[in-house]
């Protein structure tokens, strides 16, 4: 790919997007498509503004659940990974359950959880379950991937196992952990949304996905689109923040965070 000048790199995608929206708008207007089939971008924009009090409240609910799920997944994933790093036996006994949680579709677990707990708790548990595995598995890999010779050096210099963990293995695992966290952040949102939709028919949730289900019942298609846009923006924001954190922590030393090589 030839290099774009700095201005073009921002301008070109923006122009393309504007053209796309314009085409969408024209299509809806010229073909006179009714809004309950396909709302025009301007209508969606208007809905976003008019329904903002409702939608913003729902957004906050979903975001809080997502972040809570991610925080729990972080604590649980890293904690378990540290345990695995200390003992192969513990890993051998517990890892299958982590895999089971991972491979079982969350959409199938959610209805079951709804029987036992409130819908809020179900949503939180689902967000946690899906975010948990990438963090656990990446951190475990990272803790294992420590340079053999560095480990030997630490042994030679009489490091305690605690020092090895803190000064060596946890640092070496950091890029892996951060990659897992980035995946987990996106998944946590998906888990929360899936669970909200599953709980939606039960009618207790207050998150964005619940608003989507509700709008669908009422054939309020523009609001469905507006909520969808907010979900996408939330997902992008979570990813951007986590990528930013990762970049800040790694930029001095890790290849993944370095600027592209000079020509």
Partner 1 sequence: MTDAAAPTKAAPAPPLLRLERVSKTFPNGTMALDALSLAIGQGEFVSLLGPSGCGKSTALRLIAGLIAPTAGDIVWNDAGRAGHRALSFVFQESTLMPWATAFDNVMMPLKLRGMRRTEAAPRVLEALAQVGLPDSAGAYPRELSGGMKMRVSIARALVTEPTLLLMDEPFAALDEITRFRLNQDLLQLYRSRAMTIVFVTHSIYESVFLSSRVVVMAPRPGRVVSAIDVPLAYPRPEALRSDAAYNRLCNHLSEALHTAMAPRDFL
Residues at the interface with partner 1 (CB under 8 A): 147, 149-150, 152-159, 163, 167-168, 171-172, 174, 252-255, 258
Q: Which is nearer to partner 1, 163 or 201 (CB)?
A: 163
The CB-of-138 to partner 1 minimum distance in angstroms stands at: 17
The CB-of-147 to partner 1 minimum distance in angstroms stands at: 7
The CB-of-118 to partner 1 minimum distance in angstroms stands at: 43
Q: Which is nearer to partner 1, 34 or 261 (CB)?
A: 261
**CB burial string 77-115: b at 16+ within 10 A, e below:** bbebbbebbeeeeebeeebeebeebeeeebeebbeebbe
Q: Which is nearer to partner 1, 29 or 167 (CB)?
A: 167
Return the residue matching tokens 């991937």.
145
Q: Which is nearer to partner 1, 21 or 151 (CB)?
A: 151
- The residues near 67 (Cβ < 8 Å, ≥ 6 apart) are 188
The CB-of-208 to partner 1 minimum distance in angstroms stands at: 39
The CB-of-152 to partner 1 minimum distance in angstroms stands at: 5
Q: Are 165 and 150 in contact (CB under 8 A)?
A: no
The CB-of-66 to partner 1 minimum distance in angstroms stands at: 30
Q: Is the dihedral of CA 158, 162, 163, 165 positive or negative?
A: positive
Q: Are 185 and 242 in contact (CB under 8 A)?
A: yes
Q: Which is nearer to partner 1, 22 or 153 (CB)?
A: 153
- The residues near 70 (Cβ < 8 Å, ≥ 6 apart) are 127, 131, 181, 184, 185, 188
Q: Are 126 and 160 in contact (CB under 8 A)?
A: no
Q: Which is nearer to partner 1, 80 or 173 (CB)?
A: 173
In angstroms, the CA 231 to CA 236 distance is 9
């Amino acid at each position: 790919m030839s290099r774009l000048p700095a201005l073009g790199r921002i301008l070109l995608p923006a122009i393309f997007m504007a053209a796309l929206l314009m085409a969408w708008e024209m299509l809806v207007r010229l073909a006179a498509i009714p809004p309950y089939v396909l709302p025009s971008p301007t209508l969606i924009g208007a809905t976003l503004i008019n329904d903002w009090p409702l939608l913003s409240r729902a957004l906050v609910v979903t975001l809080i659940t997502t972040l809570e799920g991610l925080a729990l997944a972080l604590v649980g994933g890293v904690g378990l990974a540290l345990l695995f790093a200390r003992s192969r036996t513990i890993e051998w006994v517990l890892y299958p359950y982590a895999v089971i949680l991972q491979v079982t579709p969350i959409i199938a677990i959610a209805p079951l959880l709804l029987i036992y707990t409130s819908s809020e708790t179900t949503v939180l548990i689902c967000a946690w379950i899906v975010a948990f595995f990438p963090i656990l598995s990446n951190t475990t890999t990272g803790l294992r991937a420590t340079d053999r010779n560095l480990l030997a050096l630490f042994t030679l210099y009489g490091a305690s196992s605690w020092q090895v963990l803190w000064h060596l293995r946890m640092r070496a695992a950091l890029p892996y952990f951060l990659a897992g966290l980035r995946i987990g952040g996106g998944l946590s949102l998906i888990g929360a949304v899936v669970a909200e939709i599953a709980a939606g028919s039960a009618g207790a949730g207050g998150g964005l996905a619940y608003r989507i289900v509700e709008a669908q019942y009422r054939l309020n298609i523009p609001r469905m689109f507006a909520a969808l846009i907010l979900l996408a923006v939330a997902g992008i924001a979570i990813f951007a923040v986590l990528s930013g954190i990762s970049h800040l922590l790694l930029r001095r030393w890790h290849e993944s965070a370095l600027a592209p090589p000079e020509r």
